């Protein structure tokens, strides 16, 4: 981004730290799973079953769990900075929160999101849904912070502005909306209007009965189906907020676009 970075930012944006943070941002996982992903040979060598020294009469073996020390060190540091969220079922698993993104915006750009704005963004990138995976899939070479920035601006304010506010936010014609996403954002806006008119509050349940949603479920290619459904769900959430509280969504959009350099 052309500005001097702090050490924690460099760790997330470069080298192995960048890869490991992407891995933890995608889904709830463990340090050992990260070790298998990035240090498979070392894990295989060090995690074999060994004889339990306390079992004298019966030969009982226990599995030695191996975690790479660098990955362990990263997780310790990230937990200290409240970058990881824990879940204890079935094992103690962790996922990267959006706190690195919020801290980056505040420390490097003096842009602070309100708690209400954070709640909306957190819901958009719900760790129990697929949008995080789609975000990383669409930006395979970016660290999680730049992936979030680019993905949000392209698929939400850029899309909505180009279609409904008659303003093209993109300086690059290659970033213009493709036919597929144009269809998704138009359908999402129409359903958002319907939901608001009918006073539907339980969006997650209601969306499953939407004809367009059912159409997306019939997509045979699994990756395409996941991407389309995730984008439609997120676009519907965005459009609901854009239609019901335009000032609120405009504030979030402005902050994202300013950091990314789309507006000045």
Residue that has been written with the tokens 């769900």 in this structure: 233
**3-state SS, residue 129:** coil
Model pLDDT, residue 52:
52
Answer yes or no: is pLDDT of 4 > 50: no
- Tokens coding 200: 């539907």
CA atoms within 13 A on the CB side of 206: 14
The string of pLDDT tens digits covering residues 15-68 is 999 999 999 999 999 999 999 999 888 887 787 655 455 554 555 555 667 888
Residue that has been written with the tokens 């806006």 in this structure: 189
Model pLDDT, residue 135:
97
Give the integer Cα–Cα distance in Å for 150 and 176: 13
Can you give the pTM of this predicted structure? 0.86
Model pLDDT, residue 37:
93
The vertex-79 CA angle with 77 and 80, nearest 5°, equals: 65
The string of pLDDT tens digits covering residues 206-244 is 888 899 999 999 999 999 999 999 999 999 999 999 999
**Stretch 108-133: mean pLDDT:** 96
Looking at the chain, which runs of residues are DSSP E strands?
49-51, 61-63, 84-87, 93-96
Buried b / exposed e along 185-217 (16+ C-beta atoms within 10 A):
bbbbbebbeebeeeeeeeeeebbeebebbeebe
The string of pLDDT tens digits covering residues 164-176 is 654 554 444 445 5
Answer yes or no: is pLDDT of 252 > 60: yes
Answer yes or no: is pLDDT of 104 > 50: yes
* Domains of the chain from N-terminus onward: 7-97 (1.10.10), 113-260 (no CATH)
The string of pLDDT tens digits covering residues 154-198 is 889 877 776 665 455 444 444 555 677 888 988 999 999 999 999
């Amino acid at each position: 981004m052309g500005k001097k970075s702090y050490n924690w930012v460099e760790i997330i944006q470069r080298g192995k730290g960048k890869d490991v943070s992407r891995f933890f941002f995608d889904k709830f996982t463990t340090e050992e799973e990260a070790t298998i992903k990035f240090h498979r040979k070392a894990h295989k060598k060090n995690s074999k079953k060994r004889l339990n020294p306390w079992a004298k009469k019966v030969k009982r073996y226990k599995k030695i769990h191996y975690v790479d020390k660098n990955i362990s060190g990263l997780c310790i540091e990230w937990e200290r900075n409240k970058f990881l969220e824990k879940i204890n079922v079935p094992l103690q698993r962790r996922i990267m929160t959006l706190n690195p993104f919020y801290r980056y915006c505040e420390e490097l750009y003096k842009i602070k999101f309100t708690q209400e704005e954070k709640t909306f963004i957190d819901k958009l990138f719900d760790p129990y849904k697929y949008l995080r995976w789609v975000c990383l899939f669409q930006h395979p070479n970016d660290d999680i912070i730049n992936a979030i920035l680019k993905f949000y601006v392209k698929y939400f304010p850029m899309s909505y502005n180009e279609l409904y506010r008659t303003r093209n936010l993109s300086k690059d014609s290659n970033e213009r909306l493709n036919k597929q996403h144009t269809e998704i954002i138009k359908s999402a806006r129409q359903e958002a209007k319907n939901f608001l008119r009918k006073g539907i509050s339980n969006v997650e349940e209601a969306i499953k009965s939407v004809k367009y949603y059912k159409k997306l479920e019939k997509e045979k290619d699994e990756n395409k189906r996941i991407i389309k459904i995730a984008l439609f769900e997120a676009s519907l959430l965005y459009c609901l907020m854009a239609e019901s509280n335009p000032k609120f969504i405009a504030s979030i959009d402005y902050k994202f676009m300013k950091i990314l350099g789309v507006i000045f």
